[in-house]
Amino acid sequence: MSITVAKFGGTSMADAKAITQVAEIIKQDAKRRYVVVSAPGKRFSQDHKVTDMLYACYHDLQINGECKDTFDKIRDRFKGIVADLAIDLDIDSYLDKVEEEMNKYDSAEFCASRGEYLSAVIMAKVLGYTFIDAKDIMVFNENGDFQAELTNEKVKSALANVERAVVPGFYGGDEAGIVHTFSRGGSDVSGAVIARAVGASLYENWTDVNGFMSADPRIVENPKPIATLSYKELRELAYMGANVLHPESIFPVRISKIPINIRNTFCPAADGTMIVADLDEKELGKRVITGIAGKKGYSIVYIEKSMMNSELGFVRKVLAVLEYYNISFEHMPSGIDTMSIVIADSELAGKEDVVIERIKKVVNPDHIEIKSGISLIATVGQGMSFKPGSAATLIGALAKEKINIRMIDQGSSEMNIIVGIATNDYERAINAIYQAFASK
Ligand code: ASP
């Protein structure tokens, strides 16, 4: 029988009611043999995520040498969950040990990891599945870098003879047994890694939304849900701010082309979004664009010099300046005698003057300036490469709204057109693009 790896996020683990719903979902399909869980998240908007409270414990430990008050809140949270679930689990002894070890190890990552640990202990008990500690199978080196291939081997052999298991997400361990974590939201990555190792035919990622929307619902009213999406499209959309899934979750599953299905724990009847390796022609024919995403907070370093295109090494010299100041850039559309480098404000902050001075020195431009207050909008869709006129639709939509395009960049894959516009126009621009393609 094929295997499904099912990962459940923080809201799915937030309280006993949600956990009971999760157990029901798992039991409905015998293929759901390996389950990965997050720490309990928010139950309501003002609530605290357990992971945030655990980081707060670490902070308390640094400042006061103890974290009893904050830990007591975590204790209450888990005790409440276990009591409401009415399971036979001595959660107090687990909590005592966790508190003791948090004091002992003095590590932010160890503290943060305990939410997933306890969550998985509880879930394993609820389901009657084997608990497998992520510390023993998800391999990091001593610097905290994840070791993908070693992990793949380890998970494979650890789960080979385990019929059904629950594994905590978000963390792993190094050779010395020290706990390391992924970046925030990393349980998505843990699930993907396990899906690859066990040769799953599906990686389900259960969250609290019905999958990806074709635009941010806070900006566009009732955007269409995305039924199918390719890994490549997801990567583009996620990079530009569509954050339903940790962007690094794609790498492990891409190797074996395992589809990811984003599902909603609180609306299991919805099909959600299916993320696949390749879209077939039929799928591509159905739509021009797949989605729109964007980010605020960019600047453009604009450089002009006549005969730039024939000056050997010009671009290299400019980029070497950025490298010297440890600044990474996003896009670099260029003309014959002009080049624009789009950089996130967070990268450039405080270094503007030195960068300008240095570039002036190395390439002696006719003109250089930094244009700030820029937002980027990515219009993504593999279907665009099949349909002429996509760029015209996009540019026409912005022109009709009298929105000035400060930069435009279409990758040669023709699946993503990025425009830079003034941040004041951001919401209006997204709506204009969305409406223009919605009628196609
Ligand atoms: N609990 C961790 C976080 O809040 C990891 C996760 O949920 O994926 O970031």
Buried b (16+ CB within 10 A) or exposed e, 34-57: bbbbbbbbebeeeebbbbebbbbb
- Specify the DSSP element, H or E, that contains 148: helix 148-159
Q: How many CB atoms lie within 10 A of CB 345?
A: 14
**Average pLDDT of 248-269?**
94
Ligand 1 centroid from CA 185, angstroms? 4
Say if ligand 1 is within 6 A of residue 49 CB.
yes
Largest Cα–Cα distance of the chain, in whole Å? 77
For the Cβ of 184 lying below 6 angstroms from any atom of ligand 1, the answer is: yes
Q: Which residue(s) pair with 379 in the sheet?
A: 292, 417
Tokens 């589809």 — which residue? 259
* Residue 12 Cβ < 6 Å to ligand 1: no
CB 329 within 8 A of CB 341: yes
User: Backbone phi, then psi, for 117, in 5-degree steps?
Assistant: -55, -55
| 40 within ligand 1 shell (Cβ under 6 A) | no
pLDDT in tens, 179-207: 999 999 999 999 999 999 999 999 999 99
The residue-averaged pLDDT of 267-272 equals 96
The residue type of 29 is D
Average pLDDT score, the chain = 94
**Over 90: is that where the pLDDT of 390 sits?**
no
One-letter amino acid at 236 equals: E
158-170 mean pLDDT: 97
Runs of H (alpha helix) within 28-87 = 50-64, 68-85
- For ligand 1, whether the C-beta of 181 sits within 6 Å is no
Lowest mean pLDDT among 91-105, 158-172, 274-288: 274-288
Q: Is the pLDDT of residue 303 over 90?
A: yes
Question: Rounded CA gap, 273 and 279, in Å?
Answer: 13
| Number of the ligand 1 atom closest to the C-alpha atom of 49 | 4
Cα angle value 19/21/27 (rounded, 5°): 105
Other beta carbons within 10 angstroms of residue 420's beta carbon come to 24
Predicted confidence at residue 412, as pLDDT, reads 65
Among 22, 38, 57, name the best residue to mutate to test ligand 1's pocket (greatest count of ligand atoms within 8 A of Cβ).
38
Q: Which residue has the higher pLDDT, 413 or 272?
A: 272
Return the pLDDT at 241: 76
Of 181, 187, 244, the one to substitute when testing ligand 1's pocket (max ligand atoms within 8 A of C-beta) is 187
Distance CA 260, CA 25 (A): 17
- For 336-356, the pLDDT digits (tens) are 899 999 999 999 999 999 999
Q: Is the CB of 115 under 6 A from ligand 1?
A: yes
**Closest residue to atom 2 of ligand 1, CA basis:** 185
pLDDT single digits (tens) 220-252: 999 999 999 999 898 888 888 777 899 889 899
User: E strands along 81-194, which residues?
Assistant: 130-131, 165-168, 171-173, 179-181
Cα of 17 to ligand 1 centre, how many Å?
20
What is the percentage of the chain residues whose pLDDT exceeds 70? 100
Helix pair angle (50-64, 91-105), 10° resolution: 50
7 lines ligand 1 (CB under 6 A): no
Instruction: Give per-residue pLDDT as tens, 15-71.
Output: 999 999 999 999 999 999 999 999 999 999 999 999 999 999 999 999 999 999 999
Q: Which pLDDT score is estimated for 127?
A: 98
Q: Which ligand 1 atom sits nearest the alpha carbon of residue 246?
A: 8
Question: Which ligand 1 atom sits closest to the C-alpha of 170?
Answer: 5
Backbone angles phi, psi at 5, to 5 degrees: -100, 125
pLDDT value at residue 305: 95
pLDDT of the residue at 59 = 97
Pairing of strands 130-131, 165-168: parallel
Ligand 1 atom at shortest distance from the alpha carbon of 9: 7
What pLDDT digit, counting tens, does each position of 111-143 carry? Answer: 999 999 999 999 999 999 999 999 999 999 999
Task: Note the pLDDT of residue 18.
Answer: 98
Answer yes or no: is the C-beta of 168 below 6 A from any ligand 1 atom.
no
Among 8, 51, 248, residue to substitute to test ligand 1 (most atoms within 8 Å of Cβ): 51
Is residue 439 predicted with pLDDT exceeding 80? no
Of the ranges 92-96, 212-216, 223-227, which is most confident? 92-96
Q: What is the mean pLDDT of residues 427-437?
A: 96
pLDDT at residue 383 is higher than 90: no
- Taking the C-alpha atoms of residue 208 and residue 10, their distance in angstroms, rounded to an integer, is 9
The single-letter code of the amino acid at 408 is I
Question: How far does residue 288's CA lie from ligand 1's centre (Å)?
Answer: 34
Please indicate whether residue 134, judged by its CB atom, sits closer than 6 Å to ligand 1. no
Ligand 1 centroid distance, CA of 232 (Å): 24
- Written as six digits, the tokens of 311 are 């000056």
Atom index in ligand 1 nearest the CA of residue 185 equals: 8
Average pLDDT of the segment spanning 92-103: 97
Q: In this structure, are strands 165-168 and 32-37 parallel, antiparallel, or unpaired?
A: parallel
> Tell me, what's the pLDDT at 287?
80
Segment 68-95 shows an average pLDDT of 97
